[in-house]
Amino acid sequence: MIKSQGWDWNVVSGNFREIWKNPSVESYYLLNRWQGQNKKEFLDLGCGLGRHSILFGKNHFNVFCFDIKEEAINKTKEWAEEENLVLNYQIGDMLSLPYENESIDCIMCRNVINHTDTEGVKKVINEIYRVLKHNGECFLTFCSKDSWAYKMDWPKVDANTMKKMEEGPEYGVPHFYADYDLLMELFKDFEIINLEHVGNFYMHGDERVTSYHFHLLIRKA
Ligand SMILES: C[S@@+](CC[C@H](N)C(=O)[O-])C[C@H]1O[C@@H](n2cnc3c(N)ncnc32)[C@H](O)[C@@H]1O
């Protein structure tokens, strides 16, 4: 299995950094949904700068912030202290989560699980299954094979995984790409609540490109 790497947050600045400080659109839906289900233990799996940890912390969830990068955890902690929030912090690799079996109600794993290879993705899914309580839910995003980047001639790691060779925080970081059938196979032990294929349009140099992601909401039934 390929070595886990994480993001280099030190090279993320300006407008790009601001994006990672604002909660994602779907996080408000999940907040509302999980409050309605009286969920309490929230795991921000690959928390980055902490935008979702802060959102859920402010809304009285018991938040577990987890990331492989010390600087991500430090930044999340700094932000939480400014907001007078008491959260739980852990540095580690998503391949092996430091939480008890059936201890977590809900998990946000946005733009994270794709940072390993096929074997790694299977391990993380097993870990998510292990730590979720019965009826626990998890939101994940996956890079789609329909994305422009999947057509790039970057070094292959396995049939679904490439190293992203683009300057920035993910340089050399493995990226796993999925399609519908692969996701169905990977999540056969879960109930699929919702699956969307979302396109983001942007300029890459002079070229207009589209990145697609799967947004997946699952339940441990
Ligand atoms: C694109 S950022 C997303 C951050 C956050 N989920 C958000 O939506 O703002 C990906 C994060 O996943 C972390 N990460 C990557 N591989 C990881 C691993 N093997 N274990 C834990 N965290 C990892 C990175 O360090 C980075 O902070």
Spatial CB neighbours of 221, under 8 Å, sequence gap ≥ 6: 135, 190, 191
For helices 25-36 and 51-58, give the axis angle rounded to 10 degrees: 30
By most ligand atoms within 8 Å of CB, the mutation choice from 67, 93, 121 for ligand 1 is: 67
Q: How far is the CA of 47 from the centre of ligand 1 (A)?
A: 6
Instruction: Report, as an integer, the average pLDDT of 52-74.
Output: 98
Residue 43: its pLDDT value, please?
A: 98
d(CA 92, CA 67): 6
Q: Which structure tokens are listed for 116?
A: 């390993």
Instruction: Report, as an integer, the average pLDDT of 190-212.
Output: 94
Q: Does 51 contact ligand 1 (Cβ within 6 A)? A: yes
Q: What is the pTM assigned to this prediction? A: 0.96
> Does residue 76 have a pLDDT over 90?
yes
Percentage of the chain exceeding pLDDT 90: 85
Report which ligand 1 atom has the smallest distance to the Cα of 93: 20
Residue 48: its pLDDT value, please?
A: 97
Please measure the distance between the N-terminal and C-terminal CA atoms of the chain and give it in whole angstroms. Answer: 29
Q: Which structure tokens are listed for 38?
A: 């009286």
Residue 205: its pLDDT value, please?
A: 85
Residue 199: its pLDDT value, please?
A: 97
Instruction: Report, as an integer, the average pLDDT of 109-130.
Output: 97
d(CA 21, CA 15): 10
Place of tokens 């294929």: 197
pLDDT band at 167 (very low <50, low <70, confident <90, very high): confident
Phi, psi of 63, deg, nearest 5? -100, 130
Average model confidence (pLDDT) for the chain?
96
Exposure of 186 in the CB half-sphere (CA atoms within 13 A)? 25
Q: Decide: helix, strand or coil at residue 181.
A: helix
Does residue 71 contact residue 9 with C-beta atoms inside 8 Å?
A: yes
User: Which amino acid is present at 84?
Assistant: N
The enclosing H or E element of 6 equals none
Q: Does 45 contact ligand 1 (Cβ within 6 A)? A: no
Q: How far is the CA of 106 from the centre of ligand 1 (A)?
A: 17
pLDDT band at 2 (very low <50, low <70, confident <90, very high): confident
Q: How far is the CA of 193 from the centre of ligand 1 (A)?
A: 23
pLDDT band at 204 (very low <50, low <70, confident <90, very high): confident
- Nearest in space to 107 (alpha carbons), one of 44, 24, 33: 44
Q: Does 20 contact ligand 1 (Cβ within 6 A)? A: yes
Spatial CB neighbours of 200, under 8 Å, sequence gap ≥ 6: 210, 211, 212, 213
Report which ligand 1 atom has the smallest distance to the Cα of 109: 6
d(CA 192, CA 177): 19
**Please, which residues bridge with residue 144 across strands?**
178
